[in-house]
Amino acid sequence: MSLHNKRVVLLGGTSGIGLATARLALREGASVIVSSSRKDNVAAAVASLGARADGYVVDLGDEQQVVELFGRIGAFDHLVYTGGESLQLGALADTELSAARKAFELRMFGAMGAVKHAAPHLRAGGSITLTTGIASPRPQKNWTVAASICGAVEALTRALAVELAPLRVNAVSPGFVRTPLWDNIPQAQREAMYGEVGARLPVGRVGEAEDIAETYLYLMRNRFSTGQTVVVDGGGVLV
């Protein structure tokens, strides 16, 4: 299925995997709409994407803002949800439950709210693609909160595929990817981490945002895929 003349909405699409997906969709003939809670990020993304891109500032944790966003956008074809802050990592014994709830707010409940209010605007043949991660099938020590969120998003994906049929709902599960998600780590330490993690993977490197973007495009096009979580991790779940 071609994306030519399709409208693609990417919530969280102003950086990293979301922005890479927006660029790829544009190259395939779509028009794109990106969002962020940060005005400067929206302006920079739209400027870099060009004339067939538009952007909105929206707090995905505020349901009324999400309602208003889709009211302004109107009818469209594909929704991609990549919204999320830095991962909540650490031992459960040291984790405040309020911090755990906050971590769920954007990645899980933000996705649920987005789908709730986007679905009535999606055209026939459209799709929704959510974002999870390999923390669910391959949790590491101190990843309790992150793994729980990823598992919840996978379950949400399957449930929505049944509830919203024939609208298709899938999820992408990236492995370790070089994105701004890790920018809170000092650069030298971050590069050392990329090298160490990449050396352990069967493909010999960490992922790039463009690697993962290909999977979102595949799920938009494939009209026979729904309720699936597609892992793109360089073999991370194997080692």
Q: pLDDT of the chain along its 239 residues, tens only?
A: 799 999 999 999 999 999 999 999 999 999 999 999 999 999 999 999 999 999 999 999 999 999 999 999 999 999 999 987 667 788 888 999 998 998 899 999 999 999 999 999 999 999 999 999 999 999 989 999 999 999 999 999 999 999 999 999 999 999 999 988 788 789 999 999 999 999 999 999 999 999 999 999 999 999 999 999 999 999 999 99
> Which backbone phi and psi does 143 adopt, to 5 degrees?
-110, 25
pTM: 0.95
Domain ranges of the chain: 7-232
Peptide bond into 166 cis (omega under 30): yes
Cα separation, 51 vs 33, in Å, equals: 11
Range 7-232 has CATH code 1.20.1070.10: no
Query: In this structure, what token pair is assigned to residue 210?
Result: 């463009």
Cα separation, 107 vs 109, in Å, equals: 6
